[in-house]
């Protein structure tokens, strides 16, 4: 990796916003082993956001961006919703697709990038809400999995259509009453992680964003597996604090309670046997690399 992609042309340097200058000077592009721990020291990849204060989608975005193994060669595909408010502030190539079409767009993109850049590893990552992934976009989501497309799909699951004021989504929990769904959800939450596994995803993880290292691990696993094997899926619980009536500081507590035993978001991971071996191998290699890096240099 290198900082080449985000360098500012010398003649324009002084008129660029100070935030951008700061990003270029302090970016972790090119840094070996960059990850969620860099958040706080570097504003790289996301400068600010226009979500509600305290919205867990914001921190989820930061963890995802910080964990991308190859940000300068990654293209993210988004869809309409609260998530799409963040993309304009993100320093990673991204496409805003028509609501629900994200996995169809990503399929074409991943194939085109392979043809155009046969010698460069390009990662395509879809990031969309539950309404886009499961309801209106379910056909596109499933068909991309059936076809074995080599990219990662991330769903920010806040269990409703937040951006349009709170309509019911397939991932909404049974009985929940939203502002625009007064009857209450009549059916159980759709089991999308299990559907993903059965529709051909090689690696699936479902978790909250309360533990950044876990998000980082799941995302990197998903991206590495997508490169080698085929589709991968990550479902992250990012509660809409506005809809569930929580204060800006209460999102973390909500996620922690949803991931305790018996909760809707107890951590789960599915993978094929081949992927299990692949990830174990990868972990062993990473450990060996870290060990070598730690060895003192002797004269």
Q: Determine the Cα–Cα distance for residues 71 and 93; give it in Å rounded to an integer.
A: 9
Least distance from C-beta 4 to ligand TPP, angstroms? 33
CB atoms within 10 A of CB 245: 7
**Minimum CB distance to ligand TPP smaller for 35 or for 81:** 81
Distances in whole angstroms, Cα of residue 231 to Cα of each of 142, 153, 183, 214, 276: 10, 8, 36, 20, 15
- The residues that touch ligand TPP, with contacts defined as CB under 6 A, are 80-83, 98-99, 128-132, 156, 158, 161-164, 169
Q: Which residue, 191 or 290, is less far from ligand TPP as judged by CB?
A: 191
Which residue stretch of 48-56, 185-193, 207-215, 225-233 sits at the interface with ligand SF4 (rule: CB under 6 A)? 48-56
CA angle 51, 243, 55 (to 5 degrees): 30
Q: Which of 16, 24, 52, 142 binds ligand SF4 (CB under 6 A)?
A: 52
Nearer to ligand SF4, 74 or 84 (CB): 84
Label residues 13-44 b or e (16+ Cβ within 10 Å = b): eeeeeeeeeebbeebbbeeeebbbebbeebbb
Report the alpha-carbon distance of residue 137 to residue 146 in Å, rounded.
Answer: 14
Q: Quick one: which of 23, 55, 75, 140 contacts ligand SF4 (CB under 6 A)? A: 55
Question: How far, in Å, CA of 185 to CA of 142, rounded?
Answer: 23
Our finding on whether 166 is near Mg ion (CB under 5 A) is no
Per CB under 6 A, does 158 bind ligand SF4? yes
| Nearer to Mg ion among residue 113 and residue 171 (C-beta) | 171
Applying CB under 6 A, which part among 22-30, 38-46, 87-95, 239-247 lies near ligand SF4?
239-247
Nearest by Cα to 180 from 139, 240, 97:
240
Q: Kindly tell me which of 159 and 259 has the beta carbon lying closer to ligand SF4.
A: 159
Binding site for Mg ion (CB under 5 A): 129-131, 158, 162
């Amino acid at each position: 990796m290198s900082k080449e992609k985000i360098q500012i042309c010398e003649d324009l340097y002084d008129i660029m916003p100070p935030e951008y200058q700061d990003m270029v000077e302090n970016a972790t592009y090119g840094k070996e082993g960059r990850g969620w721990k860099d958040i706080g020291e570097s504003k790289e990849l996301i400068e600010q956001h226009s979500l509600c204060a305290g919205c867990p989608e914001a921190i989820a975005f930061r963890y995802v961006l910080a964990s991308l193994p190859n940000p300068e060669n990654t293209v993210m595909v988004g869809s309409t919703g609260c998530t799409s408010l963040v993309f304009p502030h993100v320093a990673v190539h991204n496409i805003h697709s028509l609501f629900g079409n994200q996995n169809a767009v990503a399929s074409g993109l991943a194939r085109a990038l392979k043809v155009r850049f046969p010698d460069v590893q390009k990662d395509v990552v879809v990031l969309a809400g539950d309404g886009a992934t499961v309801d209106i976009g379910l056909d596109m989501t499933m068909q991309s999995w059936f076809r074995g497309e080599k990219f990662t799909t991330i769903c920010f699951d806040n269990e409703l259509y937040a951006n349009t004021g709170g309509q019911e989504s397939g991932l909404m929990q049974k009985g929940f009453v939203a502002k625009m769904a007064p009857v209450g959800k009549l059916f159980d939450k759709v089991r999308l992680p299990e559907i993903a596994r059965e529709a051909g995803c090689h690696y699936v993880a479902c978790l909250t964003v309360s533990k950044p290292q876990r998000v980082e691990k799941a995302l990197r696993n998903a991206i590495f597996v997508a490169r080698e094997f085929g589709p991968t899926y990550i479902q992250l619980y990012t509660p809409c604090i506005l809809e569930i009536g929580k204060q800006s500081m209460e999102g973390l507590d909500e996620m922690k309670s949803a991931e305790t035993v018996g909760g809707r978001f107890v951590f789960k991971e599915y993978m094929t046997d081949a992927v299990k071996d692949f990830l174990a191998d990868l972990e062993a290699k990473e450990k060996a690399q870290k060990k070598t890096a730690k060895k003192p240099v002797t004269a």
